[in-house]
Amino acid sequence: MNRFVIAEPQLCIGCNTCMAACSQAHKAVGLQSHPRLTVTRTDLHTAPMLCRHCEDAPCARVCPVNAITHGPDAIELNESLCIGCKLCGLACPFGAITPAGSTPVNIPTLFENFIPSRQLADVPESPQNMNPFLAWNAGVRSVAVKCDLCAFLPDGPQCIKVCPTDALVLVDDGAVEQASRRRRNYAARWLSSDLDFISPTTPEQE
């Protein structure tokens, strides 16, 4: 099975520390600085939403340039290959892929329509609160970002490392087996205590 990070809403305090750590870790290695997780708030709880690294990976199926592929135990995204079509984000059932943008390193002095790239006075910019799937900005390359489990770091996902309440957990084969064992033990104890209330004799036997 693929590994993925999941959050426990009862433990999350909505401090956004995970988002800040994610952004800094990826920026340090030259990747998009946009955080790979989004803290989602409801009336009662908060919890960050991340890529679930789905086994069937609809994002990988719709990518026209194979920028998203099946790795050994995760769904991997190559930012260098991404063309910014945003199909992966639309296909993701968890909303875990967000288009972010950056200015290319070798941006030309003039665009084809001769608008100076440093001024762009005549090119309207998308509003700050515009949905990233609808946003546009001249000279900014749109790139899909999603959780990569901080594969470039030896100690794994930074969000787990910095969470002050241990609300984030890495789910893998070992974690699934431990959870299954706990549930089996709980069920056995529950069944055992339930049987204690059952009389060894029935009214018919009396």
Domain ranges of the chain: 4-103+140-172
Q: Residue 168's closest CA among 67, 61, 33, 35?
A: 35
Q: Residue 156's closest CA among 3, 1, 2?
A: 3
As beta bridge partners, residue 49 has 38
At residue 12, the pLDDT reads: 95
Each residue's pLDDT tens digit, 78-122 = 988 999 999 999 999 999 999 987 665 555 555 555 455 455 555
pTM attached to this predicted model = 0.72
Dist. CA 204–CA 198, nearest whole Å: 15
Q: Give the pLDDT mean for 158-163.
A: 96
**CATH assignment of 4-103+140-172, among 1.10.3720.10, 1.10.10.10, 3.30.70.20, 3.30.420.40:** 3.30.70.20
At residue 105, the pLDDT reads: 52
